[in-house]
A and B are shown apart, each in its own frame.
Chain A
Amino acid sequence: MDISVINSIQDQYNKNEATYLSSSLSHRKSALDFALLHNFPSRKNEEYKYTPVDRILKKNFDFEKITTSKTTALHFEDHFYKLKGNHLVFLNGNYLPARSELLNDVCCQSATDSDQSFKDVFDALNVAFCENSLKIEVSENYRPQPFFIYYFYDSEQGQVFGNPNTQITAHSNTHIQILEKTISTGNHPVFINKKVSVDVKANAEVNITKIQNYKKHVFQVYNLEVNQDTQSKFNSNVYSFEGGLIRNNLSINQLGEHCESHMHGLYLITGHTHVDNHTAVNHTQPHSYSNELYKGILDENSRAVFNGKIFVRPEAQKTNAFQSNQNINLSDAASIYTKPQLEIWADDVKCSHGCTVGQMDEEALFYLRARGIGKNQAKALILIAFAKQSLEYIPFEFVKEEIDTIIRKRLIG
């Protein structure tokens, strides 16, 4: 890693070492050592070819200017959805149990991630720097109210390096719904290195919906790792609208038979927003299903990357796996890099994948205009119709409306 980055990261660590060591233990030190040995990925890394995090961070973020202030003028409650559920608050990457509102029959506790094996530099940094992570555990046969997780970032007093960590365990026959939202204040850059791990036990169901509508100086790398047991179900919905960098890594491990995974996404981006979705589904047992649909609408100088991997292991016979990434590019300056990747070792499976990149359908546009509909409205009608399919699996009606409003505002003005 870049020597100045090493120094400042080490510096940050030393400043807080007392806290770190008192709250938990030596694994933080080994995480830091791992991180310092490895670089932020550059263009040379195949997985980050179009999203060179090292360059983006170098240009926009200064590890030496990280604030350690823990005060904020933010009124968390003002941002809560007015709905019955568990409202959980993070500030600058740390879970704040005292500021969260919990229904008393669910288990949400502060925790530390004591994982000793680190997948990559982001994983290791997250373990090294997350002071207080969130652990949600729902006991068997229980169906709790939804979880609203608010990730607040306050960069009024300096740059923020946030490392939120959430671990979710859904025990057998439970059903968990999660909505994640990020709210930021302040004008200094924010680098979010977020990790969420989900354990879906037999016959359980977990649904995570994320709205990513950040400010231009917010840069995010998000690792979502999911393990699924027999007959479990997992849904991921991700909607990205703005941000300096949005990188989502979604990795699903289907470890039992008859698993079901749905991945839906939409990126509607403009300006210089950069959105990169990397997904991987690992089918290891027979009779499982995965379905993936990501839609993109790109304008101005925006850039999108999609990479979807599906692995069907030799034992995973009778797997059904479908994947589709569809894009509309509205500008000459916008670009999309899309790559579907199927690796199949089993011989009795049904798999399909496809990517499309197209432009606004001029013929359709003329048809609507010839009926008296104004040009912008006609464009919006066509694009909203295109985007709508990605909203189907959102379990909350009000989130659908919220996203619909963002889309309309963006497209109609």
Chain B
Amino acid sequence: MISIKNLHANIEGKEILKGINLEIKAGEVHAIMGPNGSGKSTLASVLAGRDGYEIMKGSIVFENKNLLDLEAEERAREGIFLAFQYPVEIPGVSTTNFLKTAINQIRQHRGKKSLDAVAFLKLMKSKMKLVEIDQALLSRSLNEGFSGGEKKRNEIFQMAMLEPKLAILDETDSGLDIDALRIVSHGVNSLKSKDNAIILITHYQRLLDYILPDFVHVLFDGKIVKTGDKSLAMELEKKGYDWIKAEHGSLETI
């Protein structure tokens, strides 16, 4: 589905990603872990097409398309979804109104007819149950005054509505209490299928108790330095990142 090769990316002249290689096939769940500052969120941003990153080297091919040639909105229409670590508050724009615009632009791109109000509401109702989100919340301004948990649930709700091929969940578990974590994980698990893939970016293996990954990668100093299965996450939880740092040498002294 997506193939990342030797990806180098800078931000404001500083090299953050230093040669990432990652292959993801449909139906797979990949977890990316790593200490603070290792480049996890940068990778998510580069995949989603955020401005301000300079790609120095390497390639990303998504469903036979060169992803780096596409604008953020084009990537979304092709089926990439980023669940934000910090969802943005947008006053005056309701979630409902915004999602309707988004869905119809995506549908238009895929040569499908726009959803009318009735069909849209029906779709919304069915997906709302999945993340136990309330209608009243969706009529309000996007994320404005939402609690941390509500914001993250809204992200997964949007993922359910847009049905992406590749979903990147950037620390979706951070700031969630146990109940919210359960609801969010349940949502993600129900959306998982043999046709889509998920990248989970997380600090803790706790999330992986709920969403079982096929692969666990450790990102350190801009490179994937270790790949394993869920047991690698357990090991990290037990031993921390120091042994990885010792093995690969920290370039930065903190």
Report yes or no: A369 in contact with B76, Cβ–Cβ below 8 A: yes
Contact A375 B73 (CB under 8 A): yes
Closest CB in chain B relative to A369 CB, distance in Å: 4
Which listed residue (A375, A382, A389) contacts B90, Cβ 8 A? A382
Chain B positions 21 through 64: 1 when the CB is less than 8 Å from some CB of chain A, otherwise 0: 00000000000000000000000000011110000000000000
In A98-151, the 8 Å CB interface with B consists of none
Among residues of B, the one whose C-beta sits closest to the C-beta of A386 is B92
Q: Is the CB of B92 within 8 A of A370?
A: no
Mark A376-397 against chain B: 1 for CB-CB distance below 8 A, else 0. Answer: 0110011011101100000000
- Look across to chain A and name the residue whose beta carbon is closest to the beta carbon of B107: A372
| Best-surrounded residue of B90, B91, B158 (most CB of chain A within 10 A) | B90
Q: Write the nearest CB–CB distance from A262 to chain B, whole angstroms.
A: 19
User: Which residues of the other chain, A, contact B88 by a CB distance below 8 angstroms?
Assistant: 361, 363-364, 366-367
A363 to B71, CA, bound (A): 15
Which residues of chain B are within 8 angstroms of A374 by Cβ–Cβ distance? Answer: 73, 105
Task: Write out the residue numbers on chain A whose beta carbons fall within 8 Å of the beta carbon of B48.
Answer: 370
Q: A366-B51, A367-B84, A367-B87 are in contact. Are A372 and B105 (CB under 8 A)?
A: yes
Among A373, A384, A385: residue with most chain B CB under 10 A: A373
A369-B72 in contact (CB<8A) = yes
The chain A residue sitting closest to B105, CB to CB, is A372
* Chain A residues within an 8 Å CB radius of B91: 385-386
Determine if A371 is an interface residue (Cβ-Cβ < 8 Å): yes
Is the CB of A368 closer than 8 A to any CB of chain B?
yes
Contact with B along A187-204 (1 / 0, CB 8 A): 000000000000000000
Count the B residues whose beta carbon is within 8 Å of the partner chain — how many? Answer: 31
Taking a contact as CB atoms under 8 Å apart, the answer to whether A371 and B158 are in contact is yes
- With both chains docked as a complex, state the minimum distance between the C-beta of A378 and any C-beta of chain B, in angstroms: 8
Residue of B nearest to A362 (CB): B51
Nearest B residue to A389 via CB reads B92
When C-beta atoms are compared, the residue in chain B nearest to A387 turns out to be: B92
Task: Tell me whether A372 and B106 are in contact (CB under 8 A).
Answer: yes
Q: In this assembly, does B102 line the interface, its C-beta being within 8 Å of a C-beta of chain A?
A: yes
- Whether the Cβ atoms of B98 and A381 lie closer than 8 Å is yes
Partner of A377 from the list B92, B105, B141 (CB cut-off 8 Å) is B105
CA A373 – CA B158 in complex, angstroms? Answer: 13
Instruction: For the complex, give the distance between the alpha carbons of A371 and B87 in Å.
Output: 12
B93 neighbours in A (Cβ, 8 Å): 381-382, 385
Bound-state CA distance A111–B232 (Å) is 89
Chain A interface size range? 20 to 34
| Contact bitstring B75-116, A, C-beta under 8 A = 1, else 0 | 111000110100111111100001101110110010000000
- Scoring B48, B84, B87, B88 by chain A CB atoms within 10 A of each residue's CB, the highest score goes to B88
Contact A370 B72 (CB under 8 A): yes
Docked-complex contact A366 and B72, CB < 8 angstroms: yes
| Most chain B Cβ neighbours within 10 Å, of A371, A373, A386, A388 | A371
Q: Given contacts A362-B51, A382-B90, A385-B93, is CB(A370)–CB(B82) below 8 Å?
A: yes
Given the known interface contacts A374-B73, A374-B105, the answer about A368 and B92 at a Cβ–Cβ threshold of 8 Å is no
Residues of A near B72 (CB, < 8 A) are: 366, 369-370
Interface hits, A63-114 → B, CB 8 Å? none
Residue-wise, chain A 268-282 has the 8 Å CB interface mask toward B (1 for contact) of: 000000000000000
Q: Which of A362, A371, A386, A388 contacts B98 (CB 8 A)?
A: A371
* B49 CB to nearest chain A CB (Å): 7
Residue of A nearest to B97 (CB): A381
By the criterion CB–CB under 8 Å, are A369 and B73 in contact? yes
Q: How far is the CA of A251 from the CA of B144 in the complex (A)?
A: 36
Determine the distance from Cα of A369 to Cα of B77 in the docked complex, in whole angstroms. 10
**Taking the complex as formed, is B198 at the interface, i.e. its CB lies under 8 A from any CB of chain A?**
no
* Bound: A334/B213 CA distance, A: 51
CB-defined contacts of B50 to chain A, threshold 8 Å: 366, 370
Which B residue's beta carbon lies closest to that of A381? B93
Q: By the criterion CB–CB under 8 Å, are B105 and A373 in contact?
A: yes
Q: Does B128 contact A (CB under 8 A)?
A: no
- Chain A residues with CB under 8 Å of B73's CB are 369-370, 372-375, 378
Q: How far is the CA of A386 from the CA of B106 in the complex (A)?
A: 25
Residues of A within 8 A of B224 (CB): none
Nearest chain A residue, comparing its CB with the CB of B78: A372
Query: A372 is contacted by which of B77, B84, B87, B141 (Cβ under 8 Å)?
Result: B77
- Interface contact B84-A371, CB-CB below 8 Å: no
Evaluate contact between B90 and A372: CB separation under 8 angstroms: no
CA distance in complex: A361, B72 (Å) = 16
Contacts A362-B51, A382-B93: A373 and B84 contacting too (C-beta < 8 A)?
Answer: no
Chain B residue at minimal CB-CB distance from A383:
B92
Mark out the residues of chain B between 196 and 217 whose CB falls within 8 Å of any chain A CB in the assembled complex. Answer: none
Q: Is B184 an interface residue (CB 8 A)?
A: no
Which residues of A lie under 8 Å from residue B76 when comparing CB positions?
369-372
> Which residue on A lies nearest to B92, using beta carbons?
A385
Cα distance A207–B81 when bound, in Å?
48
Q: Give Cα A382 to B94, complex, Å.
A: 11
Min distance, Cβ B170 to any Cβ of chain A, angstroms: 11
Q: Which residues of A contact B7 (CB under 8 A)?
A: none
Which chain A residue lies CB-closest to B86?
A: A363
**Residues on the B chain within 8 Å of A384, using CB:** 92
Task: Given A373-B102, A377-B101, answer yes or no on A385-B90 (Cβ-Cβ < 8 Å).
Answer: yes
CA distance A371 to B84 in the complex (A): 11
Provide 12 A-B residue pairs closer than 8 Å at the C-beta atoms, listed in order of the A residue.
A361-B88, A364-B90, A368-B90, A368-B102, A370-B49, A370-B72, A371-B81, A373-B73, A381-B93, A381-B98, A384-B92, A385-B90
Given pairs A370-B48, A384-B92, A389-B92, 13 additional interface contacts (CB within 8 A): A361-B88, A361-B90, A363-B88, A369-B49, A369-B76, A370-B76, A370-B84, A371-B158, A372-B105, A372-B162, A374-B105, A381-B98, A386-B92
Q: Which A residues lie at the B interface, using CB under 8 A?
A: 361-364, 366-375, 377-378, 381-382, 384-386, 388-389
Q: Which 3 A-B pairs have the closest CB atoms?
A: A385-B92, A372-B76, A369-B72
